[in-house]
Structure 1
Amino acid sequence: MTTPEPAAPEALLPGDHERRLHPGSWLFVLLQNLRQFIVPLLVLLFAGGRRDDGYPWWLPLIGVGALVVVSVWQYLTFRYRIDDDRLIVRSGLLERSVRQIPYSRIHNVAIHQNLLHQLMGVAEVRLESAGGTKPEAQMRVLRMPEALALEQLIRDRGQGQDAAPTMDGATAPVTEPAGITLLALSSWEIVKLGLISNRGMVVVAGALALSFQALPERTMGRWLVDYGREAFGYASGFATTWLAKGVAIAGVLAFALLLIRAFSVLLALLRYHGFRLQRQGRRLTVERGLLSRSRSSVPRRRIQAWTMREGVLHRLFARRTLEIDTASARGNDGQGNGNAQRGLDALAPIAPPATCDAIVHDIALLRSWPPARWQPLHPRAWLRLMLGDVFVTVGLCVALAWFLRGWGALGLLWLPWSMFVARRHAARAGYAVDAAFVAVREGWWKRTWRFAEIGKLQAVELRQSPLDRRFGMASVWFDTAGANPLSTPLRLRFLPLAEAERVHATLAGEIARRPLRW
């Protein structure tokens, strides 16, 4: 994956004739098809193995043979040709299709290599755009030099159709240098990322949930109880007092958490080994992965919004995470994951705050980031934030009182902590709006910065709930392309009503006046 880019892509990808994929492409198509049909094939295999009445054990082999024929036929019918301004792809088994993809419409060039790809010196290439639920073209597979040459050719010809605006409104060709490394993560930085992230806990919890579903009823629960008793009994066997037993049990729990963190570090090394972020002309390229290497490339102008995150462990290591929303839809990643994020997401999985700011300066050209002064929220924003916890706490206390009677009132002791958290959150939260971008800062325990260029905003909305009207405040919400529906939206919450109306009117006028920048 770190092969130097070819100096002349046209030499490897001549545009005067149609080209086939790598001769071994049918094998990778077959493996992908087997992944999709492995369950019915196993059902046929084991159903035949359990019968003694002459059931045809070779029936699954017919299914595999049919998949081989389909895979070879797909390879024989797939063609692509390099044109001056577009890529032309011909494919189809019975129903033929001709797909023409302009270079300027390709938002992401993703190159993927697993172990088998690396052994054969090939790679899978996916060309993705902003719309749709699947790649515009998926080439499984090309020789690695051809894949890199195709990526460079799309980058060069795609940015040749763009132009950099000048001060007088005219356009000028882009003359930025290529191949500038903005971030390269060492192994120690990736270890820090594994210690900070909680991916190991998520994977373990998912594995336990799957085990409860797949194993016979109560088997997993019985194993957990038996092994848990054995572990805690073994630990408490060395202690004679209750204090010593508590310390021993705490040691067992600490050891289990340590193993989960070690698993998180392993997952981080597998995913982010050799991570490198480069700016090549007007495109960004990210390489990463240990056993399975991936390389993604998107134009800088496709970035719609930015997010910085900083948790408690981030602050311990003086690090942050920098993520982006791109104008690429969510869809199938070509590996059977229907909800995969297409395009880039994390430009800096872990980096010092100064490095994250430098990346923003270089890519978004926001010289005024970070804001010199953050505007505060409404003076009673902390009370508005606390009301949700009040309703939940009171409801929980009523439910506990039904079973525990007077002891249920102890749940009210949570309210002082809620008040403290709400005050800290409101004191730290803020927003900033200038001629270039709009930004919001939220969180106290886990901190988040989210911002976008004004030219990338699609809509602005003023919102007021009944409680907001009671407190004399309002919120301003913004829509951007490519936003993750599960992530925190870009919004300015709990502003004084007059200030919210002023921001809403000002930015609505700016959005209407400026053309949308894709």
Structure 2
Amino acid sequence: MPAAPAPAERHLHPMSWLFVLLAQLRQFVVPLLALFVFGRGDRNELWPLIGVGALAVASIWQYFTYRYGVGADALVVRSGLFERSLRVIPFARIHNVDVQQSVLHRLFGVAEVRLESAGGKKPEAHMRVLKLDDALALETLVRRRGAASAAADAIPDSTPGSPASQPAATVLLRLSTTDLLRLGLVSNRGMILVGAAIAAFSQTGSQVWPDLFEQVARYGADWSGQHHLGTSQYVLGGVAALLTVLALLRLLSIVLAVLQYHGFVLSQDGRRLTVERGLLARWRTSASRRRIQAWTLSEGLTHRLLGRRSLEVDTAAGEENGQSRALRELAPIATPAACDALIERLLPDARWPELLWRPLPLQSWWRRFVPALPWTALVTAALVWRFGNWGALALLWLPWAALKARAQARRAAYAVGAELLAVREGWWSRHWRFAEIDKLQALQLTRSPLDRRCATATLWLDTAGARSPLRIRYLPEADAQAIYRLLSQELARRPLRW
């Protein structure tokens, strides 16, 4: 038989060098801004611009040496000039597809594409950048991999292989503007952003923040001295200032939630899930349903006040720069009924509403309380040494810690179903962690000296790509041994599903 013809090779978008350059400069943005804004005028500070020029040359070089082609069942990527690289990536190996658009991407009508495999430390292919139609067509091709006709028509500029000509996917969840406002209220994105900004400026050695805080403190002291404020007025002023800061942080969280999750749509096409979101920058990622390894259903106090929950998943994908690139949030915020409906649709055999929850022993509450004792003692000692007897007020934390420990122990439970294993924990902030038994990769039964004293054990259950293993603590030893044997037998007779 004659050999299959090599796929036609294509270059990236002509403006791809610009986006490669910006991506390389991203880590130097804050230091460069600090040099120009807070610098002292030393000409030596301009030397880093030589490095910027070298990065620009390297970006243009990459555009001329990076080529890709779409075959019947694989993607072929060539790169490099002096040190050449050839990668043949079967579509069956690609499990996650990310299509990202910043504001600049949207202005040029292009997108950045990542094709990822399970557990890889780097993307199988990282394309900066493709025309938006080509990027979406490539995503569609991966979703329907194995179809030779789709492989031939997906990438060309003509429209036959574009996603618009494909059957529409089923929308599972769509967030409204009201949902985004609720999401901003329950999140702490504003505080995280402010903390990151302070940390970034502190790395530049700038005195902006210390000087600003010093000026505010001096102004406040002068104003209070002129008006002869009393102790109660100081307290009220401090409380008002704190509430104002918290309100501003919450407002910032709402703005960030709108920017990041505007137009959030979760859809399903066959066994593949796709999430699209973003106001200024658009982010679109898809992953096969079978790549989901573990699930987390959570609700904090604000969630409960608003009647909402969040649903996240762990998928078998690698990390880049310490951050997971995989599909994670199926429902950033939704009603409990909507979250349960999603679980039932995506795990039809698990029978989530019918799980039989088994409570953990209530007498284990004191073991949840004990870790608070040494930290409370250390903090109290430090405060007493600094403020005298008033520092002993820190001991008031102990009754709250005891109440919290009892509430957590009262609510802790686990469930072992025919297809699913679930753990329920938390009280003030609650969460449910569960995974399909077929996805379990490792079981571990551990007993600390205190466990042996109390005749209890901890059962660890790990899956591929999970941020943390499932854990059932303070199990009676007999129950732990029984669950361990049952799961070991189930895993031995069932094939591992990825």
TM bucket, shorter chain: 0.7 to 0.9
Q: Which residue of the other structure, out of 468, 474, 482, is the alignment partner of 1:494? A: 474
Output aligned runs, 1:328-407, within 5 Å: 328-331=317-320, 338-397=321-380
Q: Which residue of the other structure, out of 16, 20, 27, is the alignment partner of 1:29? A: 20
- The superposition leaves residues 65-103 of structure 1 with CA deviations (integer Å, 9 ceiling, x where unpaired) of 544443233222222111121111111131111101111
Contact between 2:34 and 2:204, CA under 8 Å: does it hold in 1?
no
Contact between 2:356 and 2:416, CA under 8 Å: does it hold in 1?
no
Contact between 1:236 and 1:245, CA under 8 Å: does it hold in 2?
no
* Shift of residue 351, structure 1, vs aligned partner: 0.7
**Aligned counterpart, 1:503:** 483
**Aligned counterpart, 1:464:** 447
SS of the equivalent of 1:88 reads strand
CA distance, structure 1, for counterparts of residue 327 and residue 471 of structure 2: 23
The yes-or-no answer on 1:97 pairing with 2:85 is: yes
Structure 2 residues not aligned, in runs of 5+: 149-166
* Shift of residue 458, structure 1, vs aligned partner: 0.3
**Aligned counterpart, 1:477:** 460
* Shift of residue 133, structure 1, vs aligned partner: 1.8
SS of the equivalent of 1:268 reads helix
**Aligned counterpart, 1:155:** 143
The yes-or-no answer on 1:183 pairing with 2:173 is: yes
Bigger mean CA offset, 470-479 vs 379-388: 379-388
**Aligned counterpart, 2:183:** 193
**Aligned counterpart, 1:321:** 310
CA distance, structure 2, for counterparts of residue 481 and residue 90 of structure 1: 30
Q: Which residue of the other structure, out of 237, 244, 250, is the alignment partner of 1:255? A: 244
**Aligned counterpart, 1:10:** none
Contact between 1:235 and 1:249, CA under 8 Å: does it hold in 2?
no
**Aligned counterpart, 2:407:** 424
CA distance, structure 2, for counterparts of residue 216 and residue 27 of structure 1: 30
CA distance, structure 2, for counterparts of residue 233 and residue 363 of structure 1: 62
Contact between 1:236 and 1:249, CA under 8 Å: does it hold in 2?
no
Q: Which amino acid aligns with 2:298?
A: R
**Aligned counterpart, 1:269:** 258
* Shift of residue 407, structure 1, vs aligned partner: 6.7
- The superposition leaves residues 347-374 of structure 1 with CA deviations (integer Å, 9 ceiling, x where unpaired) of 1111111111111111222451134431
Check 1:395–1:67 CA distance in 2 against 1; reply closer, same or farther (3 A cut).
closer
CA distance, structure 2, for counterparts of residue 204 and residue 413 of structure 1: 31
Bigger mean CA offset, 386-395 vs 111-120: 386-395
Check 1:440–1:233 CA distance in 2 against 1; reply closer, same or farther (3 A cut).
farther
Check 1:116–1:212 CA distance in 2 against 1; reply closer, same or farther (3 A cut).
closer
Bigger mean CA offset, 105-114 vs 204-213: 204-213
SS of the equivalent of 1:131 reads coil
SS of the equivalent of 2:119 reads coil
* Shift of residue 252, structure 1, vs aligned partner: 2.4
Output aligned runs, 1:77-92, within 5 Å: 77-92=65-80
* Shift of residue 320, structure 1, vs aligned partner: 0.8
Bigger mean CA offset, 413-422 vs 495-504: 413-422
CA distance, structure 2, for counterparts of residue 307 and residue 417 of structure 1: 27
**Aligned counterpart, 1:312:** 301
Bigger mean CA offset, 143-152 vs 507-516: 507-516
Bigger mean CA offset, 127-136 vs 314-323: 127-136
Output aligned runs, 1:162-173, within 5 Å: none
SS of the equivalent of 1:182 reads strand
SS of the equivalent of 2:21 reads helix
Aligned pair count?
Answer: 475
Output aligned runs, 1:35-114, within 5 Å: 35=26, 50=42, 66-114=54-102
Contact between 2:301 and 2:428, CA under 8 Å: does it hold in 1?
yes
Contact between 1:15 and 1:82, CA under 8 Å: does it hold in 2?
no
TM-score, with normalisation over the residues of structure 2?
0.86
**Aligned counterpart, 2:151:** none
Bigger mean CA offset, 190-199 vs 382-391: 382-391
TM-score, with normalisation over the residues of structure 1?
0.83
* Shift of residue 254, structure 1, vs aligned partner: 1.3
Contact between 1:306 and 1:452, CA under 8 Å: does it hold in 2?
yes
- The superposition leaves residues 122-175 of structure 1 with CA deviations (integer Å, 9 ceiling, x where unpaired) of 111110111332111011111111111110011001699xxxxxxxxxxxxxxx
Q: Which amino acid aligns with 1:305?
A: A
Check 1:65–1:257 CA distance in 2 against 1; reply closer, same or farther (3 A cut).
closer
Check 1:196–1:90 CA distance in 2 against 1; reply closer, same or farther (3 A cut).
same
SS of the equivalent of 2:323 reads coil
Contact between 1:104 and 1:159, CA under 8 Å: does it hold in 2?
no
* Shift of residue 433, structure 1, vs aligned partner: 0.3
- The superposition leaves residues 443-479 of structure 1 with CA deviations (integer Å, 9 ceiling, x where unpaired) of 0000010000000000111111111111111111101
The yes-or-no answer on 1:513 pairing with 2:493 is: yes
CA distance, structure 1, for counterparts of residue 405 and residue 31 of structure 2: 54
Check 1:38–1:239 CA distance in 2 against 1; reply closer, same or farther (3 A cut).
closer
Bigger mean CA offset, 406-415 vs 143-152: 406-415
**Aligned counterpart, 1:205:** 195
Check 1:313–1:39 CA distance in 2 against 1; reply closer, same or farther (3 A cut).
closer
SS of the equivalent of 2:130 reads strand
Contact between 2:103 and 2:281, CA under 8 Å: does it hold in 1?
yes
The RMSD of aligned alpha carbons is 3.2
